[in-house]
Amino acid sequence: MEDQQKPKPTKQVRIRAGYHATIEIVEHDHVIHTEHKIGPINSFDRLGFEEAFDFLEIERQAQQAELDEDFEQEQKLKQESEKTMLQTAFSYLTSFRN
C-alpha cells in the first residue's frame, strides 16, 4: 500500500496590522472570520508595536491550533465513516454467498 500524505487544512490564521490589528481566519485566500484585537496601535512606539505583535502572534497560534484540532477531528470522523461504509458494503456483498 502506498504511503498516503495527510491532507493539509485549508483554513489558516493570519495577522494584519496597521493602526489597528486584526486577526483573520482565511480559507483559500478568502476571509471567513475577522476579529479586531488591538487598536489603535501607535506605530511610532516600537516597543508598543512589538508587544502588540507578540500578543497577536500568541492569539494567532492559539486560533491556528484550534483550527488544526477541528481539522484533525474531521479527518478522524471521515476515516471512521469510510471504514464503516466499507465494512457494511463487505457484509452486504458476502451475505449473498450463503
Is 2 within the bounds of a domain? no
pLDDT, position 52: 74
Domain assignment of residue 30, given as a range:
11-95
pTM value > 0.85: no
Is 21 within the bounds of a domain? yes
Our count of domains for the chain comes to: 1
**98 residues of the chain, pLDDT tens digit each:** 456 777 777 788 777 666 667 778 888 878 887 776 666 655 555 666 777 778 888 888 988 999 999 999 999 999 999 999 988 888 888 887 75
39, 20 in Cβ contact below 8 A?
yes
Is 88 within the bounds of a domain? yes
Residues 6+ apart with CB under 8 A from 62: none
Is 1 within the bounds of a domain? no
Read off the pLDDT of residues 59-80 as tens digits, 9 standing for 90 and up. Answer: 889 889 999 999 999 999 999 9
